[in-house]
Structure formats: C-alpha cells, structure tokens
C-alpha cells in the first residue's frame, strides 16, 4: 500500500462569555444548580421571542476579524429544524446563509513550525440544553439552553492529530486573548466534531470522510483522530476500503474507540430557513472599525516580536505569551524601560512562581510593573544585591508596601567609594603578611580579602565595587 | 344594558358614576354565558374577573375579550388546540399586559381556528363558533370567537390576530370593524405564533374610533420583540378628524370589477354592486378613487404564496409542541414516541395537513422551487403595492365574495375566479400593511364588509379614511340581530 495521508477538518464549538444568553435575558454563567438560569424563551413557552444579545454579535465579529474572515454586509440568522429533547423550540437559531465570517486563514505553530489553516466559516448560534442519562430516566438541564456558541469550521487542511490539537490550543488562546470566552474544556465550554479521511500521499482526490461527533477534550480529539486513521488505514491495507462509509460516529472515551451513529443516507435534513423574528440589520463599517480596535495583538505575533526584536529565547517567549495578562505585564515593563531580558527573568521565575503558588492573576499582583521597575533600578544602581531584591520582592507582595520602604541604612549596600576605601585600607594595614604573599604571586588570596571586607561590613559591601578597590589597592 | 356602547360612552358613564366597573363586568359575564350557550364563542369565561378603578385611561374599568392564542398569566391559554388544552402560562402577552396596566378587564378567552390556522372558526378544540346574525353560518376565522362576541355585544372590543385575514374577514362576516396595524406596531410577545413573518396582533370593535383607542393603548416598542418599533409619535385616536378631501384610493380591477366574473351569482353581483355604491359615498365626501389593473398572474399567485410561506413557518413554529415541557404528555417509554403521541392526538387533521405541506416545502430539494420562489413572489407583490402607494393613500376592496357562508356547504357554491377575491387580504400580511375592515351594508339581511389597506406606518391615514367612510353609513356600533 502507498503511504497514506490523513485529511482532517475540525468543527470547534466554543461558549462565549456574556451577562445574558444569546437570544434570551437569562444569565449566562456556569451554575451547579440545574434549571436556575432560565427565561421563558429558553424553554420555548408559546409566544416567546428571541432577542439578539448585541455583545455576542460584537464578540463573534471580533473573532471573525481575528481569523481574517470576510464579514457579511447584513446580520441575520437561520433556523435549523430538528426534534431532540435538549432542543425545546424544535429548532436551533444559527447562521447558515450569512455567517459572521467566511474564508478566513491563520497560521498556527506546530512544534516550532508555522502551519497555515484555512477557515471555512465561523458562525454564532445558541447551545442546546444538557441531558443526563441514568439507569431508567434522563434529566434535562436548561441552564445551557441558549448559551452563546461560536462554531468555527476549518477546511479539510490538517494532516495529523498533532496539527489538530495545536490548532485547537491556538484557538483556545485566541478566544482567551480576545476575552470572549473562558474556553475551559473542563467546563465543557469547548466541544469538537472531527472529520477524518485518508488518501494516498500522491492522490488528488479525498478519501471517504468520516465524522466523529461530540469530542469534548483535546486529548479526546488526539486519540479519536489517531484511532480513525488507524481504523481506516487497516481497512484499506486489507483491501476493504469500501467498508469505510460516509457516516457519523461518536467518540467513546471509555473504550477509546469510535462507534457508528448514523450513515449518510440517514442524514438529517435540517430544513434551514431565515429566522423571521430577528430583523436583518446592516453591519456598518464604523462598527467593524470600532470592534477591530478592541482586538488585542495575539499571542503568536507577540511571541515572534519578543524573540526577534527583544532577543528572548523561544522558551521564555512561549511562557510570556501564554496568557494575555502576563504578556501585557511584560510589555508594560518594556514600556517603563526595564531591560527585556531582566523583565523576562523576573516574570518567568519570581512573578509567575508567586502567581502560580497563590493562584492569583498577574494583573492583581501588588508588585506592578512600576514597582518591578523600582526594584530592578535599585539592582542596576548597585543599591541592593539580587539576593536582597528577591527578599524585598516577597516583602512588597506580603506587606503591600513600596520597594523603597524595604531599603534602609541597615540593609542598603555600601556603595560609597570613600567609605569602602577606608574599610579596605584598614584591612590591608591589618594583614601585612597576606598582602606580602599576594603580591608575591599567591593571587588566590584575593578572595580572602573580599571575605574580610564582607565580614567587616556584614555582607553589605557592594561586591563589584569591593573587587574594583581591592584590585587597585593590592597592586600597591 | 351597557355593553352595546362605545368605549368613549362607557368611559363617560363610568366617570360620571352612572355605572360602575363592577356592573359592567357582571353584564359582560352574563352576556358571555348567553353567547357561549348560543354560539360557542369562548374557551374560558373569567367568572372571577375583578373590577378596576376608573382613571383617565379610556379603557379603564371596561371589560374586553382576548383570543385564546394570547398568553395570559394564570388563565388557561389553549390556542384552541388539544396540544395545549391544559396549559396555564406564567406570563402575559405584552399587548394584553398593556391593557391590564391601563385598567382594562379580561372577561373571557375566545375560540379560534386551532392556532389561527383556518378561516372558518370551526376547527377549535372546543367546537365550532356560530355566527350571531345566523347560527347556521360561520363567523369566518380564525378570530371567530372574538368577532362573534363583539358583534353580539359582550363588550366593546376583543383582541384578535391576523396572519392571512383572521381579523378582517370575521369582522366582515359579523358586521363589525377589524383592524390590524402595521407589522411591529403591536408587540407579538406572548402571541402563539402561526407564521411569524405574517402574524399581526389586532383588534375587533364596533367602530373605527374604538379600534384606534384600543391600538393606541396597546402599541409601542417592546424589548421582547425585535420586530416592534417606536410609534410614540403616532396618536391614532387624535388623527381621526374625518377630513379626507383630496385623498386618493384605488381598487384592483381584476378583483372588484363585475366584468371579471362572467358567471357571477346573484349574491356576488349584489356584493360588488354594494361595494361600488360604497365607493360613490366615499367619492361624495371628496375621496378620489381609481380603478387600477394589476397583472392577473401576480394576483393569482397570492393564495399559493400564502400557503407556502405560512405552512413552512408554521411547521417550524409549532415544533415546540411536544408535550415534554407543557401540554399533555404522551405516554411511552421512548421520548420520540411520547412526542409522536402528543402531536398525533393533539392536532386536528387540517393542521397536520399543513405541517406536511410545510415540511415538504422546506426540504432541501424543494426549498428553491417552493419556499424561495414564494418569498420572491411575495416581494414582487409587496413592491407592486408600494409602488402604487406612492400615488395612492390606500387600496380599497370588498371583503370576500359576499356575507357569511353556511357552516354546512349548501347553496353557497363558490363562483369561478373568486379565489383571489376571497384571499386578497393576504396582501396586507405580505407587506405588513395597516389594514382595516368596516361593515358597508347587508345582503339578505347579513352584513358584508369593505377593506382599506395602506402603506406601512401610515396607520393614521388609513384609519382616518375608514373613519370618514364609516360616517357616511349607518353601521357604526351595530349589534348582531339573528335573522330568520
């Protein structure tokens, strides 16, 4: 058999952040109590009507722009009709004819390689209720019914489980950067459908496409893809490729396999048509301009900026851009004039060490970039040592005071040249034998003199200055 | 006897203390039970209705009726369907709430054709509604109970809804006024949907002024309905000055010219003659009326465009009726079977037929041919009307092909070519146009009606025209008298 190539397309559903749901006034927050966040329209009581949440549309348009998609001239929605117990209205309000974005393209990083990904479309829709199945009953929780959902559909342009997961991770970071979603897979906020086919490496025609629905973790996506590639390849290898049918399967986490749900012939006709209760409205250029300004510089752009223009290592830059607040903190440090590498070192070790340990957000940390600047200035001026700086760092955090409050006569370094010269003169005068030996060639005695100075000053002598004066004096 | 009076008259009497709100309710409820006995107009009679204090609001202290497809908190709201036969909502429709807030009192919930789908008033789950002028005849529908009750003098007004002609046709058959304002002037929040892009709220009254008063009390932008709009600058009641000199109307030759019906029945001839006599009365007070010809093919398409669009939307709109959350739950272990049983038992054959049509039309392979083409023809018809509304204040046409039809098909055979004459009011729903029917005479002692339809947002003009025409005739405020 010829070498096989996998062709993968993803549908990524991501819940958006908002005060209220996308077409309903009910609250959109994660709630442990079932059926606590509901309005009449979420349960499709007769006569209720959808009202579009403008914030959700704005966020959807922002994401459309962030993915370099084309935005439509008019905003409107469609109904996708089907019966299911988790869908109270019997239809889902979604976008079929005119999604918020089409024909997008982005680059993602896979390993250290940049890979282009084409976006078919991105559209705004409402989530369904959630079902829980027990031994002999099922329960419905309508908290999730009507939660804003962005569905992103890629072209079949990915070729491995690694690429697929890298894409999902990239998108998760983009959503978080733009602050439109918590994008937390643990809360079920990201769900994926995966389309997989295989083909001969040199072939031009795609193989038979299999859809795997409702994969709810990135690990699941990885495993499902590899499982399907293996399943399809083995069938092909055995000359039974005709057994690979165009079908919908589901990922079974427990067994680590995919299971047949329905064949193409049983595909549902969703009978799409325009939602008549939401009037079509024009998306103005001005509005798009405004929204565009709210899109922050994204992580990949920042990462390459840090590496190429500030000389940071890939490793450090990756850590810095992982969360937008951290990258913003770093950039604020740069704006204040802290050396990039110094700032990077402080953030990646001390600051993040602290935020991880105490589980706080970097933007709430008492040691602001301004205070970090005070601290690093003192080091570069030689007022304090690096070791002292670390102590002060924690004291500032704990006692919520200014850096200068911890720099006193007692702990300040002796950086006064005259004062140090006087001390060193005394030491030289009191150690004539050692001076003699040093000058006779026993240069490793230099450290002895440094030690004496430190002992004399209880460690507060500026080490650089001490060495400089000692060198000069010992030459004789 | 007070319930045969106009809203303004009742308001005066209440203000002067000559009658109390309590007495009005009592009379209205007694009358409700009589009408129920004779004509079967109600799903629910609110025997526990309470009086309200009389304020400066014209509708305060006065009873009214609500079509049973409006959601009313704590009061059974069935849509005249078995699928909701036990449904008691926990919220009130916006327009009903606005009337409550102004002190109006709901006396009953009226029968309709199941979910507004039907034009006979015979398909409600509580049985057929009879015409108060002749119980052997229908009220037409779907606002059959509301039209019947207002005509019978149960109260001065009742709410209706209108997707094709569901307010304006029963009004004609019952000899009263039926008005549906421009789409979106009245919020649809709480109106059980039939076909959302065609559905209108509206009112049935015995005078144009009462229609203006009630709609003034109900209109306004509603944050629950995105298709509603701000009409705060419009005051319909105040715009009724009767001055129509220089106004221009047109009628459509292909619909209203007798020459178009070579085999016309005597009744149809009388009806059209009466229509043209009414036009002459209108001309006599300074209104110019032209005959305009419109492509017959466009007119012929009206009924099918309506069927295609309304059935398609209805199929989707009524997908929430599964018996899972509300309505009687089907009995089965499997959820799909539960839904199936609920819907199979709950809907009348007429509705099921429309669902099948709607589903067929929306199928992927049929959408372009039926649904999208119907939408295109709808646009053509609306564009044609809007073009004419540039030159004219409105369109004036006879309603139906004569008076109320018999419940049992008898001598009332439908004439050739009357299809468009029966269905042309749907133009008003296609364009969301303001449209009002008023009584304009009698044929065989049964009332007939005439309709004026104008351009969107031009409600004041349309109502004032109807108000002026009404004043040239003697049918204002008439109460149904059973004829032998």
Query: Residue B237 and residue B203: Cα distance in Å, rounded?
Result: 14
**Has B233 been annotated as catalytic?**
no
CB interface of B with A, residues 53-72, below 8 Å: 70-71
- For residues B358 and A271, give the distance between their C-alpha atoms in angstroms, rounded to a whole number: 10
Distance CA B129, CA B9 (A): 29
Tell me whether residue B166 is one of the annotated catalytic residues: yes
Whether A197 and A277 share a structural domain: yes
Q: Looking at the complex, does the CB of residue B429 fall below 8 Å from at least one CB of chain A?
A: no
Give yes or no for a contact between B236 and B188, defined as CB atoms under 8 angstroms apart. no
CA–CA gap between residue B58 and residue B63 (Å, rounded): 12
Q: List chain A residues with CB under 8 Å of B325.
A: 43-45, 88
Strands A130-133 and A138-141: antiparallel
Q: Which of B84, B197, B226 sits opposite A51 (nearest CB)?
A: B226
In a domain, A411, yes or no: no
**Tokens 């559905």, residue located:** B199
Q: Cα–Cα distance between B122 and B141 in angstroms, integer?
A: 8
CA distance A138 to chain B (A): 10
Q: Which residue has the tokens 């025409």?
A: B469
CB contact under 8 A, B196 and A277: yes
- Residue in A51, A85, A89 nearest the CB of B319: A89
Find all residues with CB under 8 Å of A225, minimum gap 6, and list them: A6, A8, A160, A161, A164, A194, A196
Answer whether A44 touches B (CB < 8 Å): yes
Nearest in space to A151 (alpha carbons), one of A206, A90, A80, A81: A80
Please tell me which of the candidates B188, B312, B326 has its beta carbon nearest to residue A49.
B188
In A, minimum Cα distance to B338 occurs at A85
How many independent structural domains does chain A possess? Answer: 3
Cβ distance A273 to B71 less than 8 Å, yes or no, reads no
CA distance A96 to chain B (A): 13
Residues A68 and A104 in one domain: yes
pLDDT in tens, B132-146: 999 999 999 999 999
Q: Do B320 and A271 touch (CB under 8 A)?
A: no
B 354-383: CB under 8 A from A: 359, 362-364, 367, 371
**B319/A90 CB distance under 8 A:** yes
Q: Is B348 a catalytic residue?
A: no
| Cα–Cα dist B381/B281, whole Å | 29
A201: exposed, middle or buried (Cβ count in 10 Å: 0-12, 13-18, 19+) = exposed
Task: Identify the closest residue of chain A to B320 by CA–CA distance.
Answer: A89
Per-residue CA distances from B184 to B172, B189, B218, B221, B229 (Å): 24, 10, 12, 8, 6
Contact B226 A277 (CB under 8 A): yes
The pLDDT assigned to B10 comes to 98
A48 and chain B in contact, CB less than 8 A: yes
Do A219 and A131 lie in one domain? The reply is yes
Cβ–Cβ of A52/B226 closer than 8 Å?
A: yes
In terms of domains, do A118 and A244 share one? yes
Same domain, A181 and A254: yes
Q: Both A240 and A319 in a single domain? A: no
For residue A412, being part of any structural domain is answered with no
Chain B CB contacts of A44 below 8 Å: 320, 325
- Boundary (domain end) residue, out of A353, A383, A406: A406
The pLDDT of residue B415 is 53
The candidate with the shortest Cα–Cα distance to B432, out of B464, B460, B461, B454, is: B454
Alpha-carbon span B55 to A118, nearest angstrom: 65
Q: Which residues of A touch B363 (CB under 8 A)?
A: 269, 271
Contact state of B316 with A91 under an 8 Å Cβ cutoff: yes
ipTM of predicted assembly, 2 dp: 0.95
- With respect to residue A382, please indicate whether it lies within any of the assigned structural domains: yes
* Confidence (pLDDT) at A410: 59
* CA A84 – CA A90 distance, rounded (Å): 7
Residue A467 and residue A391 share a domain:
no
Ranges of chain A with pLDDT below 50: none
**Structural domain range at position A254:** 4-289
Binary contact (A47, B190; C-beta < 8 A) = yes
Residues A102, A162, single domain; the answer is yes
Question: A89 and chain B: CB distance < 8 Å anywhere?
Answer: yes
CA dihedral A360, A366, A369, A371 (to 10 degrees): -150
Whether A346 and A435 share a structural domain? no
Instruction: Find residue A20's DSSP bridge partners.
Output: A27
- Give the per-residue pLDDT at A166: 97
Residue numbers of B between 85 and 104 with CB closer than 8 Å to A: 87, 89-91, 93
Give the fold, CATH level 3, of B1-484.
Answer: Amidase signature (AS) enzymes (3.90.1300)
> Any chain B CB within 8 A of the CB of A271?
yes
Would the CB atoms of B77 and A91 count as touching at under 8 Å? Answer: no
Given this model, what pLDDT does residue B414 score? 53
Q: Does A177 touch chain B (CB under 8 A)?
A: no
Is residue B253 within 8 A of residue B219, CB to CB? The reply is no
> Which residue in the list B32, B142, B231, B435 is annotated as catalytic?
B142
pLDDT for A204-247, tens place per residue?
A: 999 999 999 989 999 999 999 999 999 999 999 999 999 999 99
Q: What is the dihedral of CA A386, A387, A393, A398, to 10 degrees?
A: -170
Q: Are B420 and B365 in contact (CB under 8 A)?
A: no
- Distance, in Å, from the CA atom of B398 to the CA atom of B118, rounded to the nearest integer, reads 20
Q: Out of B32, B161, B166, B400, which one is annotated catalytic?
A: B166
Which of A406, A437, A464 terminates a domain? The answer is: A406
Query: Mind telling me how many Å the CA of A85 is from chain B's nearest CA?
Result: 7
pLDDT-flagged residues of chain B (< 50): 410-413
- A45 with A131, same domain: the answer is yes
**B87 chain-A contacts, CB cut-off 8 A:** 46
Residue A440: which CATH number?
Answer: 1.10.10.410
Contact A277 B326 (CB under 8 A): no
Which residue among A43, A138, A279 sits closest to B227, beta carbon to beta carbon? A279
Q: Are residues A228 and A361 in the same domain?
A: no
Per domain, the residue ranges of chain B are: 1-484
Distance from CA of A44 to the nearest CA of B (A): 6
- Going by DSSP bridges, is the β-strand pair B177-180/B157-162 parallel, antiparallel, or unpaired? unpaired
Do residue B226 and residue A44 have CB atoms under 8 angstroms apart?
no
- Per-residue HEC secondary structure of chain A comes to CCCEEEEEEEEEEEECCCCECCCCCCECCCCCCCCCCCCHHHHCCCCCCCCCCHHHHHHHHHHHHHCCCECCCEECCEEEECCCCCCCCCEEEECCCCCCEEEEEEEEEECCEEEEEEEEEEEEEECCCEEEECCCCEEEEHHHCCCEEEEEEECCCECCHHHHHHHHHHHHHHHHHCCCCCCCHHHCCEEEEEEEEEEECCCCCCCCCEEEEEECCHHHHHHHHHHHHHHHHHHHHCCCHHHCCCEEEEEECCCCEEEEEEEHHHCCCCCCEECCCCCCEECCHHHHHHHHHCCCCCHHHHHHHHHHHHCCCHHHHHHHHCCHHHHHHHHHHHHCCCCHHHHHHHHHHHHHHHHHHHCCCHHHCCCCHHHHHHHHHHHHHCCCCHHHHHHHHHHHHHHCCCHHHHCCCCCCCECCHHHHHHHHHHHHHHCHHHHHHHHCCCHHHHHHHHHHHHHHHCCCECHHHHHHHHHHHHHC
Q: Are residues A446 and A349 in the same domain?
A: no
């Amino acid at each position: 058999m010829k070498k096989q190539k996998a062709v993968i397309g993803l549908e990524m559903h991501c819940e958006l952040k908002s005060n209220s749901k996308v077409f309903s006034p009910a609250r959109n927050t994660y709630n442990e109590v079932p059926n606590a966040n509901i309005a009449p329209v979420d349960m499709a009581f007769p006569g209720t009507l959808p009202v579009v949440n403008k914030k959700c549309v704005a966020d959807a348009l922002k994401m459309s722009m962030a993915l370099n998609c084309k935005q439509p001239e008019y905003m409107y929605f469609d109904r996708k009709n089907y019966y299911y117990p988790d869908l109270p209205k019997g239809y889902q309000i979604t976008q079929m004819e005119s999604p918020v974005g089409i024909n997008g393209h982005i680059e993602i990083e896979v390993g250290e390689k940049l890979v282009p990904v084409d976006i078919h479309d991105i559209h705004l829709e409402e989530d369904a209720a959630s079902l829980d199945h027990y031994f002999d009953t099922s329960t419905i929780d309508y908290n999730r019914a009507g939660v804003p959902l962005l569905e992103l559909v890629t072209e079949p342009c990915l070729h491995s489980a690694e690429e697929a997961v890298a894409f999902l991770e990239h998108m998760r970071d983009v959503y978080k950067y733009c602050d439109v979603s918590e994008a937390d897979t643990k809360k079920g906020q990201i769900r994926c459908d995966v389309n997989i086919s295989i083909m001969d490496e040199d072939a031009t025609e795609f193989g038979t496409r299999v859809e795997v629905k409702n994969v709810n973790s990135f690990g699941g996506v990885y495993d499902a893809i590899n499982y399907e590639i293996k399943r399809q390849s083995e069938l092909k290898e055995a000359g039974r490729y005709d057994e690979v049918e165009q079908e919908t399967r589901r990922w079974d986490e427990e067994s680590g396999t995919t299971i047949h749900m329905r064949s193409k012939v049983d595909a549902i006709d969703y009978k799409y048509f325009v939602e008549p209760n939401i009037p079509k409205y024009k998306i103005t250029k001005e509005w798009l301009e405004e929204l565009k300004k709210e899109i922050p510089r994204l992580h990949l752009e920042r990462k390459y900026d840090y590496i190429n223009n500030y000389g940071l290592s890939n490793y450090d830059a990756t850590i810095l851009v992982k969360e937008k607040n951290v990258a913003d903190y770093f950039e604020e440090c740069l704006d204040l004039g802290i050396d990039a590498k110094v700032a990077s070192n402080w953030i990646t070790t001390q600051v993040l060490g602290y935020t991880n340990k105490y589980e706080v957000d970097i933007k709430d940390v008492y040691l602001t970039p301004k205070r970090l600047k005070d601290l690093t200035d003192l080091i570069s001026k030689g007022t304090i040592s690096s070791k002292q700086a670390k102590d002060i760092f924690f004291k500032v955090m704990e006692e919520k005071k200014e850096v200068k409050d911890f720099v006193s006569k007692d702990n300040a370094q002796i950086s006064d040249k005259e004062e140090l010269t006087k001390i060193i003169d005394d030491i030289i005068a009191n150690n004539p034998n050692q001076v003699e030996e040093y000058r006779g060639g026993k240069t490793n005695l230099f450290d002895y003199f440094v030690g004496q100075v430190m002992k004399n000053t209880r460690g507060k002598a500026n080490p650089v200055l001490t060495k400089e004066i000692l060198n000069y004096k010992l030459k004789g | 006897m007070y319930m045969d009076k106009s809203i303004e008259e009742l308001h005066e009497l209440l203000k002067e203390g000559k009658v109390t709100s309590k007495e009005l309710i009592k009379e209205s409820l007694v009358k409700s039970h009589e009408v129920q006995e004779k004509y079967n107009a109600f799903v629910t009679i609110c025997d526990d209705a309470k009086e309200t204090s009389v304020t400066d609001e014209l509708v305060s202290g006065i009873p009214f009726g609500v079509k049973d497809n409006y959601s009313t908190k704590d009061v059974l709201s069935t849509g005249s369907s078995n699928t909701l036969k036990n449904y008691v909502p926990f919220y009130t429709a916006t327009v009903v709430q606005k009337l409550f807030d102004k002190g109006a009192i709901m006396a009953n919930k009226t029968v309709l054709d199941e979910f507004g789908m039907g034009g006979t008033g015979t398909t409600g789950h509580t049985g057929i509604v009879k015409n108060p002028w002749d119980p052997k005849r229908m009220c037409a529908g779907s606002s059959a109970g509301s039209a019947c009750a207002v005509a019978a003098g149960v109260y001065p007004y009742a709410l209706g809804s209108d997707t094709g002609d569901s307010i304006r046709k029963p009004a004609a058959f019952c000899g009263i006024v039926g008005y549906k304002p421009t789409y979106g002037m009245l919020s649809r929040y709480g109106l059980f949907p039939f076909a959302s892009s065609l559905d209108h709220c509206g009112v049935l009254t015995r005078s144009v002024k009462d229609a203006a008063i009630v709609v003034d009390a109900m209109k306004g932008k509603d944050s629950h309905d995105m298709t509603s709009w701000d009409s705060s600058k419009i005051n319909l009641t105040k715009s009724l000055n009767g001055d129509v000199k220089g106004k221009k109307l047109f009628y459509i030759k292909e619909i209203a010219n007798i020459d178009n019906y070579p085999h016309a029945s005597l009744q149809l001839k009388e009806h059209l003659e009466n229509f043209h006599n009414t036009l002459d009365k209108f001309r006599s007070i300074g209104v110019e009326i032209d005959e305009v010809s419109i492509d017959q093919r466009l007119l012929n398409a009206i009924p099918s465009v309506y069927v295609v669009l309304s059935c398609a939307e209805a199929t989707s709109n009524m997908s929430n009726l599964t018996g899972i959350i509300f309505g009687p739950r089907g009995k089965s272990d499997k959820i799909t079977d539960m839904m199936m049983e609920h819907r199979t038992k709950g809907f009348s054959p007429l509705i099921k037929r429309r669902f099948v049509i709607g589903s067929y039309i929306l199928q992927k392979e049929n959408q372009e041919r039926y649904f999208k083409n119907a939408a295109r023809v709808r646009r053509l018809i609306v564009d044609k009307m809007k073009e004419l509304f540039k030159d004219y204040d409105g369109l004036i046409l006879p309603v139906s092909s004569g008076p109320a039809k018999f419940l049992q098909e008898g001598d009332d055979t439908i004439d050739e070519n009357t299809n468009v004459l029966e269905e042309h009011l749907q133009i008003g729903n296609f364009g969301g146009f303001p449209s009002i029917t008023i009584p304009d005479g009698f044929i065989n002692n049964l009332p007939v009606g005439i309709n004026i339809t104008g351009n969107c947002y031009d409600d004041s003009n349309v109502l004032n025209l109807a108000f002026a025409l009404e004043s040239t005739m003697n049918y204002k405020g008439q109460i149904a008298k059973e004829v032998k």
